[in-house]
Amino acid sequence: MKPSFLTLVGLLAASVAANPLPASNSAALVVRGGGKNTNNANGAGCDAGNAEGAGNAGDQKAGKGKQNGKQNGQNGKQNGKQNGNKGGAGAGAGGAAQKNGTANAGGAAAGGAGAGAGNATAGAIVLPDGRIKADAVPEDFNVLGSVFKSAVVKGDGLLFSNVITFPDVESSIFDKATNTKAFAINIDDKSVFIPQGGEAQSNIRRADLLPSIRSQLNDVAVTGVRTLHFSVQRDPAKPLNATHDYQIVNLESKDFSFHQIDVRTGADNGNEIAVFGNSKTTPAPQKIFSAPFGEGQFENFALKMDFNAKYGFLYLRPQGRDLTDSIDSTVQVFHSTGQAPLQQATEPIANDLAGLGEYHFALQKNAVGDAPQPTGIQEALFFAGIFMEDSTDGTVTLQ
């Protein structure tokens, strides 16, 4: 039975009384259940194709390792809850500490998530954990035990040991406490990916790291309330070309047809780094947050994603009729530069996160219109402090 206008207004009043909205919100948010992803698929920015599944047959042979990884994750979660410092108001966090039950990273060390993984941080850590041991070598990225998939995404005929290097830089805020280190993703003229059964992506230069198959068990990284941490820094010796669009971090849907979130730089973003929402949003994806992207320091991010939240938007029209729409889930951004603790940068922003999928940590250089890619390129980007935590209780680790 379709709810009446009075019923909807009653729900609206109850919701606002329980959860007052900031004055800047123009539409009323009414919490409600259900809902599924019914958006039409489009290919914007999603070009790995089914090769990511087919090309990882070797990774999936890890078999028993999946269960071991799952057990390690559970152990890490319990250790984090028991030992993590949830004392709360991380330095400089202000309102974020109050609203998000923030924690510092000096707490528990959980079990590593396979070869190459570092120790877990405070709080309830879930996969993926992409922090790299201090003694790791590039060849560690070629094997099934790597914390990242060893088969995709990279130039045809390349190994990840041809792509990964280790820069001599100050540790990121989330590597210092765990004896882990930054790594660089490098691209050049050979960085042309060929999807399984598809054509070479000749007008794109890319290399992507996808968390290992263990991180996909029970969709642990794309359900509930999860906070994804990562830090990125430019390589001054191998600069990017700001006339091009670069995809740096994204969550790509399980059917490879769209991105739920995107972190980009270059092109329209110039020398800024920006977080965008769902790529299917019309007329264009929402820019959720942006910041200057300079050199010599890490830009640190935490993306708190509530995959559970269901919101109904109630609009009152002049004719006296009601119009409802639904957007699933929210994204909230925390950010800092250099060694400063993270600070809350946005409130939770409505963004459709439905579609499950996998995270990409990438250096993907897109073409400028139909122009061919320049030749003779040597470009790189540093990554550090990649891990995910369970933020069901509101905890977001700030340093």
Position 296 pLDDT exceeds 60: yes
Structure tokens at 249: 């971090």
C-alpha 58/C-alpha 151 separation (Å) is 8
Nearest to 288 by CA among 233, 351, 352, 366: 351
Give the CA distances from residue 353 to residues 35, 371, 398, in Å, rounded to whole numbers and listed in that order.
12, 33, 23
Q: What is the pLDDT of residue 223?
A: 95
More confident residue, 125 or 16: 125
In the chain, where are the structural domains located?
32-390
C-alpha 203/C-alpha 369 separation (Å) is 10
Count other C-beta atoms under 10 Å from residue 113's C-beta.
29
C-alpha 10/C-alpha 150 separation (Å) is 53
Compute the average pLDDT of residues 342-358.
97
pLDDT digits (tens, 9 = 90+) for 87-130: 333 333 333 333 444 444 433 333 333 334 343 345 578 888 99
Count other C-beta atoms under 10 Å from residue 38's C-beta.
8
Q: What is the pLDDT of residue 178?
A: 94
pLDDT digits (tens, 9 = 90+) for 189-224: 999 999 988 999 999 999 999 999 888 889 999 999
Whose tokens are 């993703």? That residue is: 185
Lowest-pLDDT range, 62-71, 329-338, 348-357, 382-391? 62-71
- Radius of gyration, CA atoms only, the chain: 21
More confident residue, 220 or 8: 220
Domain with residues 32-390, CATH architecture: Sandwich (2.60)
For the full predicted model, state whether its pTM sits above 0.75.
no
Q: Which residues partner with 251 through β-bridges? A: 261, 359
The SS3 assignment for 204 reads coil
Compute the average pLDDT of residues 361-384.
98
Position 320 pLDDT exceeds 70: no
pLDDT digits (tens, 9 = 90+) for 26-84: 222 223 233 333 333 333 345 444 444 444 444 444 444 444 444 444 444 444 444 43
Mean pLDDT of the chain: 77
166, burial (CB in 10 Å: exposed 0-12, middle 13-18, buried 19+): middle
Q: What is the pLDDT of residue 216?
A: 83
Q: pLDDT band at residue 180, thresholds of 50, 70 and 90?
A: very high
Lowest-pLDDT range, 1-5, 321-325, 357-361? 1-5
